[in-house]
Structure 1
Amino acid sequence: MGRLADKVAVVIGAGQSPGESIGNGRATALRFLEEGAFVLAVDRDIDSARETLKMSEQGASGEPFEADVRRVESLKQALDFAVSQWGRIDILHYNVGVSVGAGDGPLEVVTEDSFDVVMEVNLRGAVMAAKLVEPIMREQGSGVVLNVSSMSAIETSSQNVAYRASKAGMIAFTQQFALRNAEFGIRANAILPGRVETAMAVDTRARLTGASRDDIIAQRKTLIPLQGHVGTGWDVANAAVFLASEEAAFITGVSLPVDGGALVKIGW
């Protein structure tokens, strides 16, 4: 414990969709708190952000904040609050994403409106958040930006047009941001979750498709090479802790899959 002691982390998407499984953002906020960080738990549903903080014994080291990533002024208010509260921002973790819940799907299904919503939330929000935090971290001479992308950005079997495009764009932007800010001591990396069991991946799909949670989990499990461990939001959170910590001080511009080996099978 203490790998992020006294660091200030802004976790955008610290709440989660309704469901039995813990989401990546909530798990990350909890792990950051556990490792000694001060956490601004940002979510469009502030009650969900509050619930995240209440789940932690270190919850008093965090503050909830309501923000909508589709509104740049809302993001700015969140970052300004973090600076006013703790004087700096050491970690920006962007973990907001929508897909089938916003009407995404194969090309014959996706509409102009659904495409725009997915791109606004998944990609534009990440770009704007990084743009806003950049001058803060440059003045500090340090900082870490983590963007939660997806293995869908690379996996050729993905059929959700807008989601895949947005997550691929996130990887490209993360690399660009990393190079742009390397001279200022700022690192930026992307995390590519695979078929992990989260509320968005399982419970939301169950509600939209009518399939049972067990059937969805079982079907996804058949596509994961690594057996004996069920991937969850905690796996993504642990990757985030590593990339945010000094253990990863010489790592920037990478895309780290957390997928049980699924991306290794590309080309087979």
Structure 2
Amino acid sequence: MAGEFEGKVAIVTGGATGIGFGSAAALVEDGASVVLFGPDEVALKQAVAILGGDHASYVVGDVRVSANVQALVNAAAQRHGGIDIVVNSAAVQPYGTVETMSEDEWDRTLGVNLKGAYLTGHFAVPELRKRGGGAIVNIASVQGIACQTNVSAYVASKGGLLALTRAMALDHARDGIRVNAVCPGSIDTPMLRFAASENLAGRTEDEVVSSWGSAHPIGRVGKPEDVGAMVAFLCSDKASFCTGGEYKVDGGLLAKLGVVLPD
């Protein structure tokens, strides 16, 4: 797919680290110019330096804030003459049930994980339409389909993101805008490492991550580039008949039942 995205412009929220960075790297590798977005300027600068300043830039902001997202879209369109791709990867994953989680934490999670995708769509769809169409990829999660315990806000946000993906795909198909979601399993990112650090139970962080990897039939946790490859495919012309879909990158996790038969 060398040069697949030559002349294309992509916005990647949460693009400084993890799956967002892996997605941005895959797009840059195939010729895109990317504009990364997030709240941590130091991390954004480091990401741009790795990707290469000729192909990457950044805007600092909060994906929950309308004016910040509008500034992102305006900056990308002005710098590059338009926008062709949007990857919504910004996310947080706090722990808590509906009983134990505070209202502020619930609102923060739904704001980053779900409202952020609404806001990027709200401002970016007109820019995509000007280019004759484009692609939006929402980074959801296997936990939008099935879930563990104690992550009520996260799973609500990711389930909502899958529903929003279908709505956007239908609403904007006639604009030539394809909208799809990717559902990763356990991916070795700062978010996953944070989750591991919160669930040590006498183990090291690496031991926790390894145990989560063993739950996947492939036998390991994924890497950001595993998800980035799927994102790049969905943004490419090779996926021209794909819209409104949910694509698992989960090492077979959701194909597996909990029942284990003897060898």
TM-score range, shorter chain: over 0.9
Whether contact under 8 Å (1:155, 1:266) holds in the other structure is: no
* 2:84 aligned partner, one-letter code: D
TM-score, structure 1 as length reference: 0.91
The CA deviation at 1:206 is: 4.1
CA–CA distance in 1 between the matches of 2:143 and 2:149? 6
Question: SS of 1:197's equivalent?
Answer: coil
**2:195 match:** 205
Q: Distance in 2 between matches of 1:180 and 1:167?
A: 20
Aligned to 1:14: 15
Q: What amino acid sits opposite 2:195 in the alignment?
A: R
Amino acid at match of 1:143: G
Q: Alpha-carbon deviation of 1:267?
A: 8.1
Residue from 140, 144, 160 that aligns with 1:149: 140
Q: Paired residue for 1:29, among 10, 21, 24?
A: 24
1:116 correspondence with 2:107: yes
For 1:165-211, what per-residue CA distance to the aligned partner results, in whole angstroms no more than 9, with x for missing partners?
Answer: 00000000010000101111110000101011111112x12444455
Pick which of 245-254 and 106-115 moved more: 106-115
Whether the aligned pair in 2 keeps the contact of 1:30 and 1:53 (CA below 8 Å) is: no
Deviates more, 1:142-151 or 1:153-162: 153-162
* Equivalent residue number for residue 20 of structure 1: none
Shift of 1:226: 1.6
Whether the aligned pair in 1 keeps the contact of 2:199 and 2:208 (CA below 8 Å) is no
Aligned AA for 1:70? R
Match of 1:218 in 2: 210
Q: CA deviation at 1:27?
A: 1.3
Q: Which structure has the higher relative contact order (CA within 8 Å, separation 6+)?
A: 1
Q: Which 5+ residue runs of structure 2 have no aligned equivalent?
A: none
Instruction: Label 1:267 to 1:209 Cα distance change in 2 as closer, same or farther (>3 A).
Output: closer
Give the count of matched residue pairs: 256
Matches within 5 A, 1:153-164: 153-164=144-155
The 5-angstrom pairing of residues 1-268 of structure 1 reads 1-16=2-17, 23-56=18-51, 58-100=52-94, 104-202=95-193, 204-209=194-199, 211-227=203-219, 230-265=221-256
**Identity percentage of aligned residues:** 32
**Distance of 1:248 and 1:158 partners within structure 2:** 34
Runs of at least 5 residues in structure 1 that lack an aligned partner in the other structure: 17-22
The answer on whether the counterparts of 1:158 and 1:164 sit within 8 Å (CA) in structure 2 is no
Contact 1:53 1:60 (8 Å CA) reproduced: no
Q: Distance in 2 between matches of 1:49 and 1:74?
A: 15
- Partners of 2:232 and 2:76 lie apart in 1 by 19
CA RMSD of superposed structures (Å):
1.6
Displacement, 1:6?
Answer: 1.3
Shift of 1:121: 0.7
What CA distance in whole angstroms lies between the structure 2 residues aligned with 1:263 and 1:34? 30
Structure 1 runs of 4+ aligned residues shifted over 3 Å read 156-159, 206-211
Instruction: Write the distance in 2 (CA, Å) between the matches of 1:9 and 1:86.
Output: 10
Give TM-score scaled by structure 2 length. 0.92
SS, match of residue 201 in structure 1: helix
